[in-house]
Amino acid sequence: MSNLFDLLVAGLATGAIYALVAVGFTLLWQTSQTINFAQGEFVMLPAFLMLAAMHAGAPFWLAIILGILLSMILLGLAFKMLLVDPMTRHGVLPLAIATMALAIGLKEAVKQFFSAEASPFPSIVPTGDISILGHAVSLQSIGVLVVAILAVFGLTALLNRTSLGHQMQAAAQNPTVARIIGVPVERMILLTFLINAFLVALASMLITPIYLAKFSSGEVLGQAAFIAAIVGGFNQVRGAIAGGLLIGVLDNLAAAYVSTQYRAAVPMIFLIAVILFRPQGLLGRAEERTV
């Protein structure tokens, strides 16, 4: 039993990180029909920005702030202005392909300018275990969970409780009407890109101490986030959160109980089943089909 408990905690911790990444992914989809195939690389990059700041002599806290700011400029502002804005009117597919190219570019840039080797990354949470209900639980898992949950609650509160959040939702659901009633739609879309950049930077800071900073680490993460987003519901923030947690737990349980060789297959089969039998996702609304 204690094994199952440990697996659940570890699964929830990775799942919470997937959820952060998946939430950003769905935000971009909702506001600008961007399927960001570089989302995994977006998580990989901020850790390197933080490491670069530390190499330049900044203390850890300053490096984190700089890393988050820089990724909001690069992965939020520049990504939107330089790539998404010129392409968004040409439909979903060319933009999706362009983000694939961006993923290659980001990986290669990190490999070239930083290192092809994995680098260690300091943790914001002290390492060690504490005892909960007689189980030793790593502080890191708890720290990750707490930060991720706070971020998600903060975001949901922003979206549902504030006027700004309502404007963002209006811009996402019906841009034309939103514009008529005076919502600055363009600014709202930019805001979602900045929020996405903030979330991936946060996820980067949380996950890199566990898996090390490596140029290729985005591939697995990006896929997990896609699956989480689809499973939970592509058009719902809470769907992406549930999907992330579910995929994290499923992945950990599959590794323990199915086989380590086929652990990656379990979320995939789950994904296919969800798409075929409930395409709108577990918590999503059915999208109106255009014929």
Partner 1 sequence: MSGFAKPLKIALGLIVIAGLIIVPMNFNRYGLFILSQWAVMSIAAMGLNLTLGYAGQVSLAQGAFVGIGAYAAAIMTTHGWPLPAAIVVAIALSFAVGWVLGYPALRVQHHYLAFVTLAFSTLAFLVFRNESWLTGGIYGISNIPRPHFFGIATNKPLPFYYVCLGSLAIVSIAVWWLIRSPWGRAFMALRENPLRAQSLGIDTRRYTLMAFAIGSALGGVAGALYAPLTQYIDPVPFNLSLSLDLLMMVIVGGAGFFLGPFLGAMIAVLLPEWLRFTEGYYLMIYAVAVMGLLIWSPTGILGILDRHMAERRTKAASALRAVAKSRLETAQ
Interface positions, 31-50, toward partner 1 (CB under 8 A) = 35, 37
Identify the residue among 3, 56, 86, 162 touching partner 1 (CB under 8 A): 86
243's enclosing H/E stretch is: helix 237-257
Q: Binding-site residue total for partner 1 (CB under 8 A)?
A: 41
To partner 1, the closest distance from the beta carbon of 21 in angstroms equals: 16
- Cβ atoms of residues 19 and 240 within 8 Å: yes
Q: Which is nearer to partner 1, 136 or 273 (CB)?
A: 273
129's enclosing H/E stretch is: strand 129-132
Q: Which is nearer to partner 1, 212 or 264 (CB)?
A: 264
Interface positions, 175-204, toward partner 1 (CB under 8 A) = none
Question: What whole-number distance in Å separates Cα of residue 278 and Cα of residue 236?
Answer: 14
Interface positions, 105-124, toward partner 1 (CB under 8 A) = 105, 108-109, 111-112
To partner 1, the closest distance from the beta carbon of 86 in angstroms equals: 5
Q: Which is nearer to partner 1, 35 or 250 (CB)?
A: 35
Nearest to 42 by CA among 238, 188, 199: 199
- 12 CB-contact burial (10 Å; exposed 0-12 / middle 13-18 / buried 19+): buried
Per-residue DSSP letters for 259-280? -STTTTHHHHHHHHHHHHH-TT
Q: Which is nearer to partner 1, 87 or 201 (CB)?
A: 87
98 binds partner 1 (CB under 8 A): yes
Express the helix, strand and coil content of the chain in percent, nearest 5 each: 75, 5, 20
Give, in degrees to the nearest 5, the angle at Cα 227 between 223 and 233: 145
Binding site for partner 1 (CB under 8 A): 35, 37, 83, 86-87, 90-98, 100-102, 104-105, 108-109, 111-112, 219, 223, 226-227, 230, 234, 261-262, 264-265, 268-269, 271-272, 275-276, 279, 291
